[in-house]
Structure 1
Amino acid sequence: MEHDLIFDGRNIPVAEAAKIMGKDPQFIRLAMINKLLPIGLTYKKEGSTQYDFYISPKLFYEYTGCYFDSKND
């Protein structure tokens, strides 16, 4: 039941999100960068070539219907 779910705001690792969704981690990264996958945020520091990813447990659940328990990662 949804009311029993707890979203603590901890990040879901890209690899875990990819595994749950049956996708490659690069698919998750590129879809988030291109704003095609609304499950969190991407950030690239000025002058950097690398992105940082935050996958929200709540947004991930709302988009996929899959609950990620950060206590079990």
Structure 2
Amino acid sequence: MGAEIRFTGEGIPITEAARIMKKDQQFIRQAMIKGILPIGLVFRKEDSKQYDYYISPKLFYEYTGYVYNEA
């Protein structure tokens, strides 16, 4: 039986997700905004043009098979 994977809930930086997936950061951002990359949440505050991103280590693992361990 394999080791149990534990997730802390701490988000994965977009820079790391892009590096791991071999995509650019803008691809990750736009795909998350459009809902075609189900690895976390995107939030835009009222009266703001900027978005906040949260990439879930668990969802990232489920989508990519990659276990992210913060260095």
The residue that corresponds to 2:32 in the other structure is 32
Output the CA distance in 2 between the equivalents of 1:38 and 1:2. Answer: 25
Q: Which runs of 5+ in 1 are unaligned?
A: none
Is structure 2 residue 54 aligned with structure 1 residue 59?
A: no
2:16 partner SS:
helix
Q: What do you get for the CA RMSD once the two structures are aligned?
A: 0.9
TM-score if structure 1 supplies the norm length? 0.92
Sort the Cα spacing of 1:44 and 1:68 in 2 relative to 1 into closer, same or farther, 3 A. same
Cα deviations by residue, 1:2-60 (Å, 9 ceiling, x for unpaired): 52x22000010001000000000000000000000000000000000000000000000
Q: For 1:13-28, list aligned pairs within 5 A.
A: 13-28=13-28
Q: Answer 1 or 2: which has greater helix percent.
A: 1
How many Å separate the matches in 1 of 2:31 and 2:3?
27
Instruction: Flag structure 2 segments of 5+ consecutive residues without an equivalent.
Output: none
Runs of 4+ aligned residues of structure 1 deviating over 3 Å after TM superposition are none
